[in-house]
Amino acid sequence: MDTKLFKWALLLMVSQLLAICASAQVYMTKAGQTSFFSETPLENISAVNQQVSVLLNSVNGEIAVRMQHRAFNFPNKLMQEHYNENYMETDKYPAAGFTGKINEQVDFSRDGTYPVSASGVLDIHGVKQNRTLNGQLTVSGGRLTLSCTFDVKLADHHIQVPTLVITKIAESISVKNRFELTLKKTS
């Protein structure tokens, strides 16, 4: 290859790479909301965590979600204590999360509501599981709202339920997420 042509091609590739990096837009929140609900004939259990951290790269669709178990609030303090000590063992497994990538191409510059799915790894109770989660992404005035509902089977994440209370806790827990993301300011 001609040296001039090689230098020109290299310059073009570097400038395109710099343009991609400069246009990378990361949306985030530290106040996302995750809630869960367990329904049985004997007792319903619910909790809400409003301190969920989320990062979403609009250029490549990568997403990362992380939450501390102790940030879940229950209507009953005894439920909260049992959740942290007996089931989630938060001293040993303090956090849960999801890292993955949105499968669909979304135009983040155009307002609208888009059905999306993200494939990645769900990490709960120290057990990592490949999952594809379905949701909805709304773009409005430069802000993103991502919502997603999915089920978690306790057995899939080695969460033990004592036989004494097995009829009070569902085998599968419904998890709802709502994340309002804003563009991360770069310095």
**Is residue 38, in this structure, part of any structural domain at all?**
yes
Q: Is residue 32 part of a domain?
A: yes
Closest CA to 34 of 172, 174, 165: 174
Structural domain containing residue 88: 26-183
CATH code (residue 73):
2.40.128.110
Model pTM score? 0.83
pLDDT tens digits in sequence order for the chain, 187 residues long: 565 654 555 555 544 544 444 456 999 999 999 999 988 777 888 999 999 999 999 999 999 999 999 999 999 898 899 889 888 999 999 999 999 999 999 999 999 999 999 999 999 999 999 999 999 999 999 999 999 999 999 889 888 876 666 666 778 889 999 999 999 876 5
Domain count, the chain: 1
- CA torsion angle 54 56 61 63 (round to 10): -20
Contact 23, 158 (CB under 8 A): no
Residue 130 lies in a domain: yes
Instruction: Look up residue 44 and give its amino acid.
Output: N
Pairwise CA distance, residues 116 & 104, whole Å: 6
Note whether 58 and 32 are within 8 A (CB): no
